[in-house]
Structure 1
Amino acid sequence: MLLNFLLLDVVIMALCWLIVTYNQRAGLVDVAWSFCIALNVMIAAFWLDTAPISVRIFIGCASSIWFLRLTWHLLRRYWHESEEDRRYANMRRAMGQFKHLGFLAFFMFQAGLAILFSYPMLSLLSTTVIQWSEWTHWALIAAAIMMLLAFIGESTADQQLYRFKQKPEHHGKTMDQGLWKYSRHPNYFFEWLHWFAYPILGLAAGQYLLWIYPLLMWAFLYYITGIPFSEQQALRHRGQNYRDYQQRTSMFIPWQPKE
Structure 2
Amino acid sequence: MAGGSLKNLVVAFLVPLPSILFYLYFVRPGGDADASPLSSWCAEHPLLLANILFFFNVNVLFWLVGLLLSNHWLIDLYWTVIPVMLLHYYRGHPASVADAVRSMVAVALTWVWSARLTHNYLRREGWEFGKREDWRFNEMRGQYGKTWWWMSFFAVYLSQQVFLIGICLPMYAIHSSNQPWGIWDVAATATCIAGIIIAHFADTQLHKFVTMNEKLKKLGEPTVPTLEEGLWQYSRHPNYFGEQLWWWGLYLFAWNLGQQWMFVGPLVNSMCLGYVTVLVERRMLKQEHRAEAYKLYQKRTSVWIPWFRKAAPELKQKET
What TM-score do you get using the length of structure 2 for normalisation?
0.70
Asked whether the equivalents of residues 192 and 250 of structure 2 are also in contact (C-alpha less than 8 Å), the reply is: no
Aligned equivalent of 1:65: 112
Asked whether the equivalents of residues 38 and 68 of structure 1 are also in contact (C-alpha less than 8 Å), the reply is: no
The answer as to 2:97 corresponding to 1:97 is: no
- Once the 2 structures are TM-superposed, how far is the Cα of residue 83 of structure 1 from its aligned partner? 5.4
The answer as to 2:169 corresponding to 1:119 is: yes
Structure 1 stretches of 5 or more lacking a match?
none
Could you tell me the percent identity over the aligned residues?
27
The answer as to 2:189 corresponding to 1:165 is: no
- Once the 2 structures are TM-superposed, how far is the Cα of residue 112 of structure 1 from its aligned partner? 3.4
Aligned equivalent of 2:231: 179
The answer as to 2:51 corresponding to 1:6 is: yes
Moved more, 29-38 or 79-88: 79-88
* Compared CA separation, residues 252 and 82, structure 1 to 2 (3 A): same
What TM-score do you get using the length of structure 1 for normalisation?
0.85
Asked whether the equivalents of residues 86 and 168 of structure 2 are also in contact (C-alpha less than 8 Å), the reply is: yes
Asked whether the equivalents of residues 151 and 190 of structure 1 are also in contact (C-alpha less than 8 Å), the reply is: yes
SS of residue matched to 2:286: helix
How many residue pairs align between the two structures?
A: 252
Query: Distance between the aligned counterparts of 2:81 and 2:53, measured in 1?
Result: 11
Asked whether the equivalents of residues 13 and 108 of structure 1 are also in contact (C-alpha less than 8 Å), the reply is: yes
The counterpart of 1:217, out of the listed 269, 285, 288, is: 269
Bigger relative contact order, structure 1 or 2 (CA pairs below 8 A, ≥6 apart): 1
Q: Which amino acid aligns with 2:282?
A: Q
Q: Deviations over 1:176-231 (max 9, x none)?
A: 11111110000111112122323432343222223444433332222x2x211111
Superposition RMSD in Å: 2.5
Q: Which amino acid aligns with 1:250?
A: S
SS of residue matched to 1:26: coil
Query: Residues 142-157 of structure 1 correspond to what in structure 2 (within 5 A)?
Result: 142-157=187-202
Larger Rg: 2
- Once the 2 structures are TM-superposed, how far is the Cα of residue 150 of structure 1 from its aligned partner? 0.9
Aligned equivalent of 1:236: 286
The counterpart of 2:301, out of the listed 242, 249, 252, is: 249
SS of residue matched to 1:150: helix
Structure 2 stretches of 5 or more lacking a match?
1-45, 218-222, 312-320
Asked whether the equivalents of residues 27 and 88 of structure 1 are also in contact (C-alpha less than 8 Å), the reply is: no
Asked whether the equivalents of residues 249 and 258 of structure 1 are also in contact (C-alpha less than 8 Å), the reply is: yes
Moved more, 104-113 or 92-101: 104-113
* Compared CA separation, residues 203 and 92, structure 1 to 2 (3 A): closer
